[in-house]
Amino acid sequence: MGQYKLTVVDIDNKDGNGLEEWRAIVEAHGGIPETYTVRSPSGGRHLYFWIPKEYPAPTSNKTFSPNIDISGENSLVVGEGSTTCAEVDPGGRIKTGAYVAVNAGTPIAVAPDWFVQKIQRENREPSQMRSSEYPAKAHSELVEDSRMALGYIDPGIRRDDWLKIIAALHDLGDAGYALALEWSSRWSRFNRKQFDAEWKSFNGRREVQLSTLFFMPVRTRLMLRR
């Protein structure tokens, strides 16, 4: 899908409203194709869609309704197979549990035009900036989001996927280096000299965006490096 990029509709259903709001929006716009969907422990949904690469994939809150967010470039999505450690809330709703695919095997669909145009209109800020161009607060949030994402990824993944993560973290500068080093060193066959050489090889290059890190499978299903 080289001509597309990922975006995720994050539906919050803790109060029982998000799914109803989404159904109403979809019906009002003439429908939306079935796509790969993950159910959160609180009953929400993460709907994955492809959008054309030439359009920004902005991350925005409450784009469609108070209970629906859009997770696009430079955002974090908790994926299938992850488990939260939250407690039961005051209303008695259990938030601890696993993120489960409700339609495993269903491919990610290409979003319809109305959806693509809607998220473009709600895009208030550029989504293609380098991390160094973000305000300081936003940069620190990206660092913390990246740290969280790395916690779900085994550093012993295939070499080509490991390099993609290193390249993505390179966009965070010194903070990215520290994260990459900390994460990579957890692998039993870690080689510091090789790591530094690979890190330096990405100087002046920006072949992989940071968003690549956030869409890596959080349940390690990749082949281990040999």
Q: What are 59-80's pLDDT values in tens digits?
A: 776 667 778 888 887 777 888 8
Helix (H, G, I), strand (E, B) or coil at 100: strand
Q: Which CATH class is domain 4-121?
A: alpha beta
What is the rounded average pLDDT of the residues 84-111?
Answer: 75
**Nearest 10 degrees: Cα torsion 89, 65, 32, 23:** 60
**pLDDT tops 60 at residue 226:** no
More confident residue, 194 or 217: 194
Tokens read off for 29: 């716009």
What percent of the chain lies above the pLDDT cut of 70?
Answer: 73
What is the rounded average pLDDT of the residues 176-190?
Answer: 92
Q: Tens of pLDDT along 121-143?
A: 655 443 344 444 444 445 677 78
**pLDDT tops 50 at residue 165:** yes
What is the rounded average pLDDT of the residues 32-36?
Answer: 94
What percent of the chain lies above the pLDDT cut of 90?
Answer: 22
CA distances from 3 to 35, 52, 54 (A): 18, 6, 8
**pLDDT tops 50 at residue 220:** no
Tokens read off for 60: 């925005």
**pLDDT tops 70 at residue 200:** yes
Could you tell me the sign of the dihedral formed by the alpha carbons of 80, 146, 214, 166, in that order? negative
What is the rounded average pLDDT of the residues 75-98?
Answer: 68
Residue positions counted in the chain: 226
Give Cβ neighbours of residue 194 (< 8 Å, ≥ 6 apart).
none
User: From CA 88, how far away is CA 124, in angstroms rounded?
Assistant: 36
In this predicted structure, what is the pLDDT of residue 90?
59
In this predicted structure, what is the pLDDT of residue 18?
84
**pLDDT tops 70 at residue 162:** yes
Among the residue ranges 65-74, 92-101, 199-208, 210-219, the one predicted with the least confidence is: 210-219
Helix (H, G, I), strand (E, B) or coil at 10: strand
- Does the model's pTM come out above 0.85? no
Strands 37-39 and 68-71: unpaired
Residue 171 burial by CB count (10 A; 0-12/13-18/19+): exposed, middle or buried?
Answer: buried
In this predicted structure, what is the pLDDT of residue 107?
93
**pLDDT tops 80 at residue 198:** yes
**pLDDT tops 60 at residue 23:** yes
Phi, psi of 95 (to 5 degrees): -105, -10
Structural element, H or E, at residue 37: strand 37-39
Q: Please, what's the b/e burial string for 190-219 (b: 16 or more CB within 10 A of its CB; e: otherwise)? A: eeeeebeebbeebeeeeebbbbbbbbbbbe
**pLDDT tops 60 at residue 55:** yes
More confident residue, 39 or 60: 39
User: From CA 67, how far away is CA 63, in angstroms rounded?
Assistant: 9
